[in-house]
Amino acid sequence: MSLPEHEPQQPQPYPQASGAYPPPPPYEPAAPMHAGPGTTIWPGNGDGGTPPGNPDSPRPRRARRSVGLIAAVAIAAAAVGGGTATLIERWTGNGTTASAPGVSGTNASRSTNGTVAGVAQAVSPSIVEISATSSSGESTGSGVIVTSGGEIVTNNHVVAGSDQVKVRTSDGKTYTASVVGTDPDKDLALIKVQGASGLKPASLGNSDNLRVGDQVVAIGSPEGLTGTVTSGIVSALNRDVTVAKEQGQGQGQGDTQGQGRGRGGWPFEFGGQQFNGDTGSSKTTYKAIQTDASLNPGNSGGALIDMNGNIIGINSAMYSPSSASASSSSAGSVGLGFAIPINTVKADLDSLRSGSGSGGGSGANS
């Protein structure tokens, strides 16, 4: 008995229940690449892991981890110097790109205020050297240009009794000057150079605003050293200083440079005592600014200047430890100098211009 021939039985797939398995992917999974022992790299398309052909699949959230890392760096930076918000904005792209904070400042090369060098550069063209010649010799002092036409303020004792006055400006030019008016009671004089124009006048400040301790600069021609600059502070105000009205009175000869003449400081009195020689019988007293800026014979008539470049006084007297009979090598400033307040000068200018100062106009006319 032969068995009927049956076709081979094909294996039947295991019945699938609906939803028992996920549907097969519509793409061929990429095979991993082995870069070396212990390292496996799964290829991607560079967009954060989105499977190719399946744009709806969720992307891994790498950005959140980056922001968290940046925030941690920013907080660490804030512990050193602040700026967390700036760092987060700059690196996460929130708003516009942040720029480094600006710093306000001043170009030092453009500013001359507040430094001795700046004051000297600005004011020196307005300070002159004065040489006054008389029958008894020659004296050297300083002066301050107050008008571009050549009006110059100086001390009366610099030009009193002179037969000829010469003025030398900071650029080396020499002019002949005439005495317009003098005021021996205030130890002031006004002279004017001949044939000059376009001179640089100084800026006259307000001496009423001075305070003890304010920084000042002095410019003059001590011992004929034109354009010498010294600096210091206002060490006292309203000193009653008594000086001789005319040059040559008493033992000291002030700013004299003549051969055989004494070179002690201009004689003055303070507190009932005489300094640098006898002031003689003809003398006057005024309120003075005291300064420790170095003043020496020849500074008389020069400028005492504030740190804004304004003239706040006319240097007029100085204390020297040497007597009139001592040699010039031992004479010198010890930090006690006096200046006539510029407000006194401004109040007297009109009288000096008219030649009707306390002492009237006198002196050289050549």
Catalytic residue among 124, 126, 139, 157: 157
pLDDT for 313: 97
Nearest to 305 by CA among 203, 227, 226, 223: 203
Does the active-site annotation cover 6?
Answer: no
Q: Is-above-0.85 flag for pTM?
A: no
Q: What pLDDT, in 10s, does the model give residues 183-216?
A: 999 999 999 999 888 999 999 999 999 999 999 9
The two tokens of residue 159 are 């030009």
Mark out the alpha helices in 138-258 (DSSP H runs).
156-159
CA nearest neighbour of 292 among 212, 189, 238, 350: 212
How distant is the alpha carbon of residue 18 from its chain centre? 91
pLDDT in tens, 44-75: 555 555 555 555 555 555 555 555 555 454 44
Exposure b/e, 293-315, CB count within 10 A at least 16 = b: bbbbbbbbbbbbbbbebbbbbbb
Q: What is the mean pLDDT of residues 162-166?
A: 94
Output phi, psi for 79, to 5 deg: -65, -25
Q: What pLDDT score does 241 carry? A: 86
- Asked if residue 363 lies in contact with residue 355, where contact means CB atoms within 8 angstroms, the answer is no
User: Are the C-beta atoms of 293 and 232 separated by less than 8 Å?
Assistant: yes
**Among residues 124, 131, 142, 187, which one is catalytic?**
187
- Give yes or no for residue 243 having a pLDDT over 70: yes
Q: Which residue out of 124, 300, 322, 351 is catalytically annotated?
A: 300
Q: pLDDT value at position 150?
A: 95
Please write the tens of the pLDDT for every residue from 331-350: 556 788 999 999 999 999 99
